[in-house]
């Protein structure tokens, strides 16, 4: 999954793709580089970010969505707003990526439009989530969160569901590392695994890489490790480099099997 932020304030690429034509060109480039899904985000969820109105989010999203082909790659909407999700699905999007943890209105819309759904765990809102997050056992608590959703999810007529443990969303460095070391504990027949660790600040904390664009090595390492744990979708900024790393890892038999 290639990340395409249509925002002025996203932590890594905010402001680069505000123009719909440039954004559409970037989406097509990521597809050519190996992305099978393009994730459109029109509201930043970086730590400390402020929410935007529905109309503002739609004004950023729809002009780009209208320019994208709907039959070459899957299009995901990174949104928490039902109105935005409805408009995006009607305009041809295929997946809802819900960082709010399984909003019932969003699930209903996904079911109505026969769309895939990503359900992410977060502790707190983007504005406050990184203010001293605490857990007794982060793996058990995040897993319990998804288990509490399972009965509802399996009753819905959705083509595919993925769960995302939410790296950096209400977690310290150690929480993030423990989750990534234990991703296989989240595996279940009812859902696929999804991970978004690309360019995030946990890499800076480990490797002194304050600029997001300097975190390529750590991003690729986490992507390869996540595949070994059974992750189906990797959400990345650096599509070409990650695709190359996966291709080489396959040839070196690092992965026993991959789709």
φ and ψ of 40, to 5 deg:
-95, 125
Distances (CA, A) of 156 to 124, 150, 162: 26, 10, 13
Comparing C-alpha atoms, which of 46, 31, 33, 112 is closest to residue 78? Answer: 46
Which residue is catalytic, options 60, 171, 199, 235? 235
60 is catalytic: no
- Say how far residue 185 (Cα) sits from the centre of its chain: 19
Q: Catalytic one among 156, 200, 215, 256?
A: 200
Closest CA to 149 of 197, 96, 186: 186
Structure tokens that stand for 68 in this block: 């994208």
Largest Cα–Cα distance in the chain? 48
Q: Is 200 a catalytic residue?
A: yes
Distance between start and end Cα atoms, the chain: 14
Question: Nearest-CA neighbor of 126 among 10, 52, 47, 8?
Answer: 47
- Active-site positions? 200, 235
């Amino acid at each position: 999954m290639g990340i395409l932020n249509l925002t002025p304030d996203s932590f890594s690429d905010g402001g680069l793709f505000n123009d719909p034509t440039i954004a559409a060109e970037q989406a097509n480039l990521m597809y050519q580089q190996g992305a099978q899904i393009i994730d459109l985000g029109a509201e930043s969820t970086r730590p400390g970010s402020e929410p935007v109105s529905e109309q503002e989010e739609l004004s950023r999203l729809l002009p780009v969505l209208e320019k994208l082909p709907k039959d070459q790659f899957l299009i995901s909407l990174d949104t928490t707003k039902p109105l935005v999700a409805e408009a995006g699905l009607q305009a041809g999007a295929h997946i809802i990526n819900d960082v709010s943890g399984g909003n019932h209105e969003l699930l209903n819309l996904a079911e109505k439009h026969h769309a895939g759904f990503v359900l992410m765990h977060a502790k707190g809102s983007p504005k406050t989530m990184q203010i001293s997050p605490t857990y007794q056992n982060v793996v058990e608590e995040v897993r319990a969160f998804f288990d509490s959703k399972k009965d509802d999810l399996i009753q819905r007529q959705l083509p595919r569901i993925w769960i995302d443990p939410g790296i950096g969303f209400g977690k310290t460095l150690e929480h993030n590392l423990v989750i990534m070391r234990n991703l296989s504990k989240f595996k279940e027949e009812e859902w696929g695994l999804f991970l978004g660790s690309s360019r995030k600040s946990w890499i800076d904390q480990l490797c002194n890489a304050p600029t997001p664009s300097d975190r390529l090595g750590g991003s690729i390492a986490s992507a390869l490790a996540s595949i070994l744990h059974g992750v189906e979708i990797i959400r990345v900024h650096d599509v070409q480099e990650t695709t190359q790393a996966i291709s080489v890892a396959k040839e070196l038999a690092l992965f026993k099997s991959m789709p």
